[in-house]
Amino acid sequence: MAPPAPGSLQTYPVSKAVNNVRNNGAELLKPITVEEAH
């Protein structure tokens, strides 16, 4: 595997629900604010 091209990845905070395998849905990909993440 090669590293991704610069600028091809984007990072942002997501809900803690992402860490639970029982959760599934588009809302898991919704960006949240840093304040909401804590």
pLDDT at 31: 86
Cβ(17)–Cβ(25) below 8 Å? no
Q: Given this model, what pLDDT does residue 34 score?
A: 83
The whole-angstrom separation of Cα 12 and Cα 36 is: 12
- Return the pLDDT at 15: 86
Q: What is the pLDDT of residue 21?
A: 92
Asked if 13 contacts 32 with a C-beta cutoff of 8 angstroms, the reply is: yes
**AA letter at 38:** H
Supply the pLDDT for residue 25.
Answer: 92
Phi and psi (nearest 5°) for 12?
A: -160, 155
pLDDT in tens, 1-38: 999 999 999 888 888 899 899 999 998 888 888 888 77
